[in-house]
Amino acid sequence: MFDIIIKNGKIIDGTGNPWFYADIAVKDGKIAAIGKLEGAETREAIDAKGLVVSPGFIDIHSHSDLEPMVNFRCESKVRQGVTTELVGNCGDSAAPVFGMAYDQQKEYIDGHYDISSNWHTVDEYLSKIDRAKPGINYATLVGHGTLRKSVMGYERRPATEDELSRMKDLLREALRQGAFGMSTGLIYPPGSFADTGELIEISKVMAEEGGIYSTHMRDEGEKLEEAVAEAIEIGRKAGVPVEISHHKACGRSYFGRVEKTLKMMEKARTEGIDVTCDVYPYTATATGLSSIIPDWAHEGGMEKLLDRIRDKTLREKIKEETHPVQMALSGYENIYISCVGSEENRKYQGASLADIGRELEKDPLDAALDLILEEKGDVGMIRFAMDEEDVKKVISHRLSMIGSDGSALAPYGVLGKGHPHPRNYGTFPRVISRYCREFKVISLEDAVKKMTYFPACRMGLSDRGLLKQGMAADITIFDFENVKDIATYENPHSYPDGIKYVIVNGVMVIKNGEHTGERPGKALRRL
C-alpha cells in the first residue's frame, strides 16, 4: 500500500533530460516507484493529467533564516513549489552567534518577532528549526559577517592571527554540525572590512571539511569584473567551490558586462576552479537602505553610524561619497522604500527617494539619511538598476541556477508587513512563465534542472533534487500553460497561479492550490 500515487503526469526528473510519461508512488517519505502503476493500492491518488511533475524546487539563495520559526506555513515559498531553502546568505546567518552577533540578533528578534533567540551554535539553531516543524525543509550556510561580528564586532581593520583562528574554529564547528558552507556579503559591514587574504584563509577550512563558498561580491557595477576575479581567486587559493550570488550588472553604464563575467567563469572552470552562479528573474534589487552609505561610516555598528549621520561635517562627507555612486547605479527616482518599522513613516513604503525628497522639500539623499536616522537603520529598499537582456543571458547560461534572494513571507500577520520585492512570492513560477514560456530562452527541462538537481548537487544534497526511486519525496506538480507569478512591485503580497500540488517529505502541503496546514519540513544537515 502506497501513501500517494501521482498518475498520468508529464515527468521532468531534474536531470535536464527530455520529459516522459509515468506514474510516481510515494511511501514513508520516499519515492517508492516510478513507472506504470495501474492497479497499485494507495491511500491517496493525484491525477496529474495535463500537468508537469518535477522535483520540489530548491531555493539556493534565500533569507528565510528566522521566518520558519515565525510562521511554519512558509506560505510564499511553498506556494511557488519550493520544498527546500538554503539560508545564511550574503554573509549573514542566524548561527553561530556570539558576542555582538548574538546581541544584535537578539535585539532584532525582540523588536520584530514573538520568538525566543535562545541559540548560539548551528546545531542549536537547526534543532530550533526542527522543533518549529516548518512546512518545508531548511539548510544553512555560515555568514562570514556573522563570524566577524562574533569575534571582532564592527572593527574596520585586518583580523589578528588569534581572531582569524577563532573565526576558523567557529566555521569548522558549524560545518561539522551540518552547515553547507560559508557565505560572504562584501558590500555589508563588517564583512566588507575583510581583505581577500582573510577570506582565503577562512575558506581553507571548507577545503578540509567540505562546503561551498557563496559570495555576494564586493561590487556589481563599476568593478564587477574585479569582484568576479576576487571570487575566482578565493576559489583557486583556498581550493573550494565558488557560488557567485544573484549574478548581475547594476547601473546603465555597466549593462552587458555579464557577458564578460560569464566568460571569466567558464575560463576559470577550464583551469580547474569550480565556479557557478545563481540568479533571480527580476530587474530590481532589494536590500537595506543603509547599504548605500560608505564602509567607513559603519565602523562600530549601527549606533556609531547614526552618530556620524547626525554629525554635520561627517554627514556632508557621507553625502559627497554616496551621491556619485547612487547616480551611476540608478538615481534616486529608481530607489523605492520597501519597509520601515514606524507607523509614522509607513506612508513612504512604495515611494521613491526622489518623490519623498520632493514631498519633504529635501535633497533625496538627505531624505534617505533622515529616514535611516528615524528608523534606527531598519529601512529596506528596492532599486531598479538591471537590464532584462542581462537577466536573460544569466538565466540561460549553463553555469547558473535559480535563487530568490527572498524570504518566506505571507500576506497576513507580521510577515505581511511592508512593501517587499515580488521575488519573495514569484521567483520560481516567473522563471517558467516568463523565461521558458514567453521569452523561450531556456527549455522547461533546463529550467527545472536549474531549480532542482543543479542546486542539490551544488549544496551536496544527495537525496533530493531528482525524481528517482529512493530519493526523498519532495515533489512539485504544476500547470505549465497557466503557471504565473502574480506578485508585482505595486502589489507584492500575492501568491502565484498554477502550482497545483507540493509534496514535502512524502506529505502533501499544497493540494489543489491550497495549503493543507501540514508541516513535514525539517532541518537538513550536510553529511
Q: What is the mean pLDDT of each run of 10 residues along the chain (527 residues)?
A: 97 98 98 95 97 98 98 98 98 98 96 94 98 98 98 97 98 98 97 98 98 98 97 98 98 96 98 98 96 95 95 96 93 95 92 95 96 95 97 98 98 96 98 98 98 98 97 98 97 98 98 98 95
My answer on whether 68 and 120 are in the same domain is yes
Q: Report, in this order, helix, strand and coil percent for the chain, each rounded to 5.
A: 40, 20, 40
Residues 195 and 336 placed together within one structural domain of the fold: no
pLDDT score, position 181: 98
Region of 43 on the Ramachandran plot (φ > 0 left; ψ -120 to 50 alpha; else beta): alpha
The Cα 231–Cα 215 span in angstroms is 7
Q: Does some domain include residue 144?
A: yes
Distance between CA atoms of residues 307 and 318, nearest Å: 12
Nearest residue to 386 via CA among 488, 233, 249: 249
Judge if 212 and 329 occupy the same domain.
no
Whether residue 180 is found in the same domain as residue 311:
no
Same domain as 407, residue 337: no
- Domain presence at residue 112: yes
pLDDT, residue 96, reads: 98
pLDDT at 380: 95
Q: What pLDDT does residue 48 have?
A: 98
Same domain, 145 and 265: yes
Residue that is last in its domain, among 459, 493, 509? 459
**What is the pTM assigned to this prediction?**
0.97
Q: How many domains in the chain?
A: 2
Please tell me whether residues 294 and 272 are part of one structural domain: no
Domain presence at residue 76: yes
One domain for residues 270 and 330:
no
| Domain end call among 360, 384, 408 | 384
- Beta bridge partners, 54, equal 476
Q: Is residue 19 part of a domain?
A: no
Q: How far apart are CA 132 and CA 130, in angstroms?
A: 5
In a domain, 465, yes or no: no
Residues 168 and 204 occupy one common structural domain: yes
| The C-alpha cell that represents 514 in the structure block | 491550497
Residues 65 and 180 in one domain: yes
Domain residue limits at 369: 287-384
Q: What is the pLDDT of residues 300-345, one digit of tens each?
A: 999 999 999 999 999 999 999 999 999 999 999 999 999 998 999 9
- H or E stretch including 112? helix 99-112
* Residues 159 and 291 reside in one and the same domain: no
Residue 495 lies in a domain: no
Q: Is 176 inside a domain boundary?
A: yes
- First-to-last CA distance in the chain? 31
CATH at 166: 3.20.20.140
**Residues 358 and 319 both lie in one domain:** yes
Average pLDDT, the chain: 97
DSSP 18: P
Cβ contact 95:174 at 8 Å: yes
- The answer as to whether 486 is a domain residue is no
* Per-residue confidence (pLDDT) for residue 524, from 0 to 100: 98
How many angstroms separate the CA atoms of 319 and 20, rounded? 58
Pairing type for strands 499-504 and 475-478 reads antiparallel
> Which of residues 320, 355, 384 is at a domain's end?
384
Q: How far apart are CA 285 and CA 377, in angstroms?
A: 18
